[in-house]
Amino acid sequence: MQLRMCPAVWSSTVVACMRCMAMALMLLTALAAKATHIIGGEMYYDHLGGNQYLITLDLYRDCGPDNQNGTGFDFEAQLGVFSTSGVLLFTQDITDPGETIVPVDLNDPCLATPPEVCVATTRYQATLTLPPIAGGYVIAYQRCCRTPALVNLQGQMGLTCTINVPAPPNAVNSSPRFNAYPPVALCLGRDMVIDQSATDPDGDQLVYELCAPFQGGDAINPAPQPPAGPPYLAVNFAAGYSAASPINSAPPIAINASNGTITVHPTLQGAFTIGVCVSEFRNGVLLSTVRRDFMFKVVVCDVTVISAISDQNDLCAGLTQSFGNESINGTFWSWDFGDPSTEADTSSADTPQWTYATPGVYTVTLIANPGWPCADTTASQFNVFPVLDVSFQRPPIRCPGEDAALVAEGVFGANAQFAWDMGAAGSPPLAQGPSATVAYPGPGTYAVTLSASENGCSDTFTDSVVVHPRPVVDFLNDPFACVGEALTFASLAEAWTPIALAWELGDGNVTSDSTFMHAYAEAGMYPITLTASTDSGCVATVTETRPGAVQVFPNPVAAFTALPVEVSLMDPVVEIEDRSVDATSFTYTIGDLVVYDVPFFEHEFDDGGHFVITQVVTSGEGCTDSTTRVVTVSDHLLYVPNAFTPDGDGLNDTWAPSVRGARLYELVVVDRWGRAVFRTTDPKAAWSGDGLPQGVYNYTIRLAEFGPYRKEYNGHVTLLR
């Protein structure tokens, strides 16, 4: 908020202007007064290497009822970096990372502070680049305001947290830092020993003293930005107080210069600002001083200690019991679990646990703060019963109607009572006792619940009995076949678990395949048996036998004569005569095209060669047999035209000899100069004479019969255009 001056209007009176300024000042003072939450703070640094320094600012605030507005830490804190002469070099803003509550440690188990005592702390940190300069640096933070209830200060004041970074040759340095939080509260009329020792990362010599905190900020400018530069003013102590004597104490407050231990016996209740300084020296040279500025709150501490054991809330916990501690103001403990079987049945834990050797009723004793004047003792009885934890193993998968055994397991005593609920489908549906059997009529998963009770404790366990159907056996097969003909067999057996098959085929052959083919070597009627077995789930073996499932018919015997076995193209007729047995139909194939379906016939060949005659005979049951004979047709026939007219009129346009009975064949046509103009080994190929002039051409034909005879023909042919 800015303070606006009254307008300089000559018509306004001086009194009116002064009233305007007074009202503005009162408003600013009222707003600043709301921020009376600051308790103290301290600043230190770490050298990170080169010119880098990590600056740490720890601040403390009141989080108890005295902070009526609930004022928290600033979202940002601004550091001012100065030369030792007080020139501002730059500023750095740091964001608040969040606060934590400072624990209350009175180091006396007979004392407890009032619940309204609360201190919170936060830590601002920033890395600054500080090149070496003459005299070094002064880093400062300022804030207002302290609580106006301070006994040892005059008026409301702010605070300044500051630290010095030395110049070379001592610039490579990390300042000391306090090892523990400052004390949250001091107990009125009690001897207090407070550890305010510090640690120096460089191992420099540390010297402690009580010192004056610094002022900083005010009601008009509670959070100076930038902070003011050095030097800084000490706080104004009230009459009778000083930096060395900041609190009412008998004997006076004192600090050990070598270890930082403070001894104090507060004699006045109230809030007191105290400064503790720790200075580091290296080879007798002062490098820096860390100034802890803090408020000691002297309160009346409670001394009432009440020992109390939590009620036993689980009578069925078993031999191992856990003990709850509901004591008030106790800080250390002595438990005796009343177990007569051992002298080791004690503990100093807050909430211990003990395992008894046997069931029984035991007296448990708890002493809060044993050996202290404020100690208190209580005792409680604990009923220790064995834990009740029942279950049963799920039986193996059963078949329909097959008994499943159930046996209670777990942890229970000899007097435990058991009840079984098998469900409405179970036979029986209910049972008593530590074991039971049950059967179910069909496939499914059936819930079974076991209930147990003992010593007022109960437990239940539910699992299930699984029932699978028995294997189902069925199969398919071809019912009829001829001897040597393969039939197809296929299993239709089913089961809910892997199934093993065993076939018996009636002729001594067996197999375990699911589908297969099989041929019988002899005619007859054959029974088929299929057995299906399971070794898991519903373990069972089921067999299906079908007498006469397969009928095998005999095959006919093919036989015939083809005479003579060699004929000439001059007389190419062969007589075929059936000699088969048990045949009712016949099929003869000669070469690739000629087919006869009568038992006796004559066949005339139209070309030479070796001809295979195949007979296929069929019985009345459809069985077949076949056999073959070979007939040779020898000799050959040749006709050669003497002229052709390749004029494209569709008549006599090509020239080709006509030949029958040639096993091997070659035709060569040459012109009058002996050059070959056409050559072929195909007896059906024709010469077109394309591109050749009209004239007489010579030819040579070489052929071999279907036998040892070979022949060469020479002649001429006239090409006419």
pLDDT grade, residue 172 (50/70/90)? very high
Q: How confident is the model at residue 104 (pLDDT cuts 50, 70, 90)?
A: confident
Q: How confident is the model at residue 39 (pLDDT cuts 50, 70, 90)?
A: confident
Q: Which pLDDT value is given to residue 65? A: 77
- Greatest mean pLDDT range, 15-29, 102-116, 492-506, 597-611: 492-506
Q: What pLDDT does residue 181 have?
A: 87
313 or 238, which is more confident? 238
Residue 238 clears pLDDT 80, i.e. is over it: yes
Where do we find the tokens 């550890």? 195
Is it the case that residue 33 has pLDDT exceeding 80? no
> Are the CB atoms for 140 and 79 separated by under 8 Å?
yes
Distance between CA 531 and CA 487 in Å, rounded?
A: 19
Burial class (CB in 10 A: 0-12, 13-18, 19+), 611: buried
Q: Which of 6-20, 338-352, 458-472, 503-517 has the lowest mean pLDDT?
A: 6-20
182, 387, 550, 669 from 676: Cα distances, Å: 128, 117, 71, 6
Looking at the chain, the number of H-run helices and the number of E-run strands are 1, 53
Lowest average pLDDT, out of 58-67, 437-446, 625-634, goes to: 58-67
Cis peptide before 231 (omega within 30 of 0): yes
pLDDT in tens, 663-701: 899 999 999 999 999 999 999 999 999 989 999 999 999
Residue with tokens 């699984």: 466
pLDDT(35) > 80: no
Handedness of CA 620, 624, 625, 628 (dihedral sign): positive
The verdict on whether omega for the bond into residue 400 sits within 30 degrees of 0, i.e. cis, is no
> Can you tell me the mean pLDDT for 55-72?
85
157-178 average pLDDT score: 95
Dist CA 291 CA 232 (whole Å): 13
Average pLDDT over residues 538-560: 96
More confident residue, 146 or 671: 671
| pTM, entire model | 0.45
Judge whether residue 709 has pLDDT over 50: yes
Q: Which amino acid is at 363?
A: T
Looking at the chain, the whole-number percentage of residues with pLDDT higher than 70 is 93
Q: What is the per-residue pLDDT for 116?
A: 72
408-426 pLDDT, tens digit per residue, is 999 888 889 999 999 999 9
pLDDT per residue as tens digits for the range 208-217:
999 999 999 8
Give me the sign of the Cα torsion angle 423, 426, 432, 435.
Answer: negative
Pick the more confident residue, 200 or 707: 200
| Contact between residue 80 and residue 43 where contact means Cβ atoms under 8 Å apart | no
Q: Looking at residue 557, what DSSP letter applies?
A: B
pLDDT score, position 72: 87
CA distance 422 to 183: 68
- The rounded radius of gyration (Å) of the Cα atoms in the chain is 60
For residue 428, the Cα-to-chain-centroid distance in whole angstroms is 45
pLDDT interval class at 6 (50, 70, 90):
very low
Q: What is the model's pLDDT at position 110?
A: 64
Residue-wise pLDDT tens digits, 264-298: 999 999 999 999 999 999 999 999 999 999 998 89
- pLDDT score at 10: 30
Backbone phi, psi, residue 685, to 5° = -75, 145
Tell me which of 523 and 7 has the higher pLDDT: 523
Average pLDDT, the chain: 89
Q: Cβ distance 227 to 88 under 8 Å?
A: no
Give me the torsion for CA of 224, 56, 246, 204, rounded to 10°: -140
Lowest pLDDT segment from 4-8, 356-360, 614-618, 626-630: 4-8
**Section 576-584 average pLDDT:** 94
| Per-residue pLDDT tens digits for 595-649 | 899 999 999 998 888 899 999 999 999 999 999 999 998 888 889 999 999 988 8
Mean pLDDT of 184-197: 90
> Residue 655: pLDDT band by 50, 70, 90 thresholds?
very high
Average pLDDT in the 9-22 region?
Answer: 36
